[in-house]
Chains A and B, each alone.
Chain A
Amino acid sequence: MGVEELVESLGNQVLTTTLGKVVGWGRGNSVWPAQFGLACCAIEMIATATAGVDIARFGSEAMRASPRQADLMIVSGRVSQKMAPVLRTVYDQMPEPKWVISMGACASTGGVFNNYALLQGVDKIVPVDVYIPGCPPRPEDLLNALMILQERIKAQGIKGPQ
C-alpha cells in the first residue's frame, strides 16, 4: 500500500515531482540514526553528537536506541562474526525507508584486522549507502557522509532506497 505502488501501477506517467521533493526534503532533514556503536568509531560518533561538532544542525542528534524509531543505521566499529547475525536482525527490524552508513575502515572493509574474527566489510550482510574511510574517521567526516546521504535521500523522493 503506498503512493509508490499507485505510481508504478500508472506506469510512472503521473507527475509526482513536487510531492517527491517535499517527501525527500522531509526525510532528508530528519534522519534519525540508530545507535549501533561497536568500537572506536562509536566514541567518535558520540563526539559528533556532542556540542563540539554538533550533529543536531543536520537533524540527526536524536540517536534512537530502538530500531523501530530509526531510519539510518551508522555501523560504527568492527563487526565480529558473532555480532553479524545481531546486526542483520537489528537492520531487519528497522522500518523502511532505511539507509546504512558504514563508518570507519573496520566496518567498510575489515580495516587493520584481516583475520578470522572479523566480518571483512559490513556490506556482506546489509546494503550500505555511504562508506567513510578513516580509523576512526574524524567527526567532520561523519557529518560529510551525512550530507552526502541527505542529498541522495532528497534525490530518491517517494520511492526511497531500492
Chain B
Amino acid sequence: MIAENLVVERGVSAGDAWVTVEPENIRAALQSLKDGGYRMLVFLTCVDHLADSSRTWPARYELVYQLRNLDTKELVRVRAFVDSDPPHIDSVHDLFPPANWDERETYDLFGIVFTDHPELTRILMPDDWVGHPLRRDYPVGGEVVEFSEEHAMWQTAPDEA
C-alpha cells in the first residue's frame, strides 16, 4: 500500500515489518500508509546511532514512526535517517494529531527540528534547559558515586559509546 518509489529498503526485524524511507518524502509515505488503512500512529521517536559498531547506518539520527492498522491488526515501522545540523524533517502533526506531542518530545530530548510544527518548544525538560539529554554524547549526569567504575563512565560523554 506504500508507493514503491518511496521505499529505500524493506525488511523484518524480530517479527516486526519495517520500511526505510528518504526523509524528504516522509509525509508522502505516511500519507499513503494512512490511506492504506494505517490510521493510528502508535509512537514516534528517534534513535541516536553515534559510534554504533553493530551495523552500518546511513546517518546518525534514525526517526522511527510506528503505525498500526486497527482493522487488520498489522503494525508497520517507517524509518528515516537524518544527519544534517540541526537535524530536521517535516512535521506530520496534521496527518496524525498524536504526533504533535511526540515531535515536541523528540525535539526536546534529541534536538530534531520538525519544520512547520505549530509550537516546537520543550515539553519535558525545563524551558531554559541547555542541551538535548537523550543524545549519546550527552552524559547520563547525576552525582558521582564513589567506588563505582560504572558511574565514572556515565559522567564523561561516551566518545566511543
Q: Which A residues are within 8 Å of any B CB, using their own CB?
A: 81-82, 110, 113-118, 120
Which A residues are CB-close (under 8 A) to B151? Answer: 114
Is B3 an interface position by the 8 A CB rule? no
Residues on the A chain within 8 Å of B140, using CB: 114-116
Question: How far, in whole Å, are A29 and B129 apart by their CA atoms in the complex?
Answer: 43
A117, B143: Cβ atoms closer than 8 Å: no
Q: How large is the interface on B (under 10, 10 to 19, 20 to 34, 35 or more residues)?
A: 10 to 19
A123 → chain B closest CB, angstroms: 13
1/0 per residue, CB under 8 A from A, across B128-161: the answer is: 0100010000111111010000010010000000
Q: Are B142 and A81 in contact (CB under 8 A)?
A: no
Known: A116-B133, A117-B133. A110 touches B142 (CB 8 A): yes
Task: Give me the 7 closest cross-chain CB pairs, A-B, nearest first.
Answer: A116-B141, A114-B142, A82-B126, A115-B142, A120-B143, A115-B140, A115-B141
Residue of A nearest to B126 (CB): A82
Contacts of B143 in A (CB 8 A): 110, 114, 120
Cα of A110 to Cα of B143 in the assembled complex, Å:
9
Interface residue from A81, A114, A120 paired with B126 (Cβ < 8 Å): A81
